[in-house]
Amino acid sequence: MRFRLDEPLPSRGVAALIAGILFRRNIAAEIGLFSQHSSPVSVSDWFALLQSNRLLGLVSLNILDLVNYALVGVMFLALYAVLRRANKSFMAIATALGLLGIGVYLASNPALSMFSLSDQYAAATTEAQRTTLLAAGEAMLAIGRFTASGHPGTAGYVSLLLIAVAGMITSVVMLRSGVFHRATAYVGILASALDLAYCLAYALVPTVGSELLAVLFIPAAGLFLMIWHIMIGWKLYRLGHLAGKALAKQS
């Protein structure tokens, strides 16, 4: 039996559920709060951590987000399949923006690159090699990573903005579709609005105020996104289960 994109599968609902359960916004900050390990400040500190405790270093660099964002990508595709009849053009835009934002994040996540650089740094025999590797590490962190204080890198900011716009469009279509409960749409609108507010404020407010912005917007947006993903996942699972039963009766 073959399934098309416009046939919601239970597995797509499960992907959204897992994404909701595993979702963490800025896990490095959580590690700093609930463990004795504070997030490294300098690149050399990151290299040292990756050599002494590889798992902690990789998790602090948000390697788990590679799995989470991939699952969110599956969720966006499933939402397009379910909501395209409500507004095909808007859902096409939302899905494209969401997948683009996810692609930007996956390409810029520094965990694996920093892992490789740390090994090269440990094996370096000259000061010139170490200086070059430190500069490469600095560039990797500047591009993609959200710091423990909430400062986004360039790619992290772009990814957050694109996914927030995609979430807002999707939630508005969801609100008018009649497929999802209106509460699900409102949670998505609220989560996306908080992320968009952070993106706008971060671009306008001086750097000294960015930590306050992160404290105000990022945790709240992350909480509502987790709830939104779980609500979507459960609905997609139910839709896929019903579709599977209908197809089984036809065969």
User: Mean pLDDT in each 10-residue stretch from start to end of the chain (251 residues)?
Assistant: 43 54 52 57 91 90 87 90 94 98 93 94 94 93 66 83 97 94 96 92 69 75 89 84 57 57
DSSP SS3 for 26: coil
CA distances from 132 to 45, 80, 182 (A): 16, 45, 53
Output the CA–CA distances (angstroms, integers) from residue 87 to 83, 162, 171, 175, in the order listed: 7, 19, 12, 11
**Beta strand spans in 133-211 (E):** none
Name the token pair of 164: 């927030």
Contact 228, 21 (CB under 8 A): no
- For residue 205, the SS3 value is coil
Write phi, then psi, for 234 (nearest 5 degrees). Answer: -65, -40
Q: What is the pLDDT of residue 40?
A: 82
- Token digits for 185? 């749409």
| Cα–Cα distance, 149 to 39 (Å, whole number) | 10
pLDDT confidence of residue 28? 52
pTM of the predicted model as reported, rounded to 2 decimal places? 0.81
